[in-house]
Amino acid sequence: MRQQYKVTRFTSDGRMEKKINDQLTKVQKDINDQLTKVQKDINDQLTKVQKDINGPVLATQLEPNILPLTVYNLIVTSATAGWTPVRCIGYVYKDLNGNYRIKLNINGTVTTGYRTSHTMTIAGLTFKTAGGYQALSVYAAVGNFACTIPTSGDIKVDHASANTSSYNVSGDVELESKPTWLV
């Protein structure tokens, strides 16, 4: 709410009163201009935040490397006795260089027994060949090390001999190409 302030001062010729009122008017105009600018800046920031919230749809339209982030159930197999996938999910995207990547989380159980490694295969994708093995995070109580095997869809978990009953790995790794199941 903008208000106008007037100073009434009794002077013999009125010049001082006019001068003060002119200065107040100028100060009020400057304040109102600054308020208008601040309101515009706030509205611009709110618009930007709204665009960021609506990101995936807008980003897909503006940036061709960003794919809609659909989480896929991955088909994960293993020769380890009793392998049963519990939760195997991932989503594929392209990085700024146009390389396909997958962010994944794999959890499964096996027949309890002593072993030193576990290899599982994700159907329909191939991990990057150049650069070799890519590290993954592994559940600490089971594995010491997990990585992708280049030119395949294999993930290997190595650990000291232990009585294991489940394997859990997660990570963000580069792919050789678009997975066959990606729509």
At residue 71, the pLDDT reads 87
At residue 92, the pLDDT reads 92
At residue 169, the pLDDT reads 94
Summarize pLDDT for 122-136 with one digit per residue, the tens.
999 999 988 889 999
Strand ranges in 1-144 using DSSP code E only, listed in sequence order:
72-73, 76-78, 84-94, 100-122, 135-138
Concatenated DSSP letters of 111-163: EEEEEEEEEEEETT--B-STT---EEEE-TTT-SEEEE-TTSSEEEEEEEEEE
More confident residue, 51 or 111: 111
At residue 23, the pLDDT reads 84
C-alpha to C-alpha distance for 16 and 6, rounded to whole angstroms: 12
C-alpha to C-alpha distance for 74 and 132, rounded to whole angstroms: 23
More confident residue, 44 or 93: 93
State the average pLDDT over residues 98-112. 93
State the average pLDDT over residues 13-40. 81
**For residue 20, pLDDT beyond 50:** yes
Q: Which range among 72-86, 89-103, 139-153 shows the weakest confidence by mean pLDDT?
A: 139-153
Q: C-alpha angle with apex 72: 111 to 64, nearest 5 degrees? A: 145
